[in-house]
């Protein structure tokens, strides 16, 4: 489970880095930057939905922080 989450986070950061690189380069235009940012948003939403699914299926459990300790 940790591997899947780490892989998704690396993909999100990679898409953000690619968008920044496309922003600095002017040869490809804005369409590549917009595509990379759209990919980052799609990966973020997919990660959020995967975490919700994992919670409902019982694959992950909240531990919480005990109050008063």
Q: Which residues of 24-45 are buried (b: 16+ CB within 10 A; e: fewer)?
A: eeeeeeeebbeebbebbeebbe
What are 5-44's pLDDT values in tens digits?
899 999 999 988 888 888 887 755 567 788 888 889 999 9
Tokens of residue 34, six digits: 């917009």
If 0-12 CB within 10 Å is exposed, 13-18 middle and 19+ buried, where does residue 15 land? buried
pTM, two decimals, is: 0.75
């Amino acid at each position: 489970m940790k591997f899947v989450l780490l892989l998704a986070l690396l993909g999100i950061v990679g898409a953000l880095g690619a968008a920044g690189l496309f922003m600095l380069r002017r040869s490809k235009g804005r369409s590549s930057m917009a595509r990379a940012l759209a990919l980052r948003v799609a990966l973020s939403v997919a990660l959020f939905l995967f975490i919700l699914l994992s919670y409902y299926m019982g694959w992950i459990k909240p531990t919480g922080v005990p109050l008063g300790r």
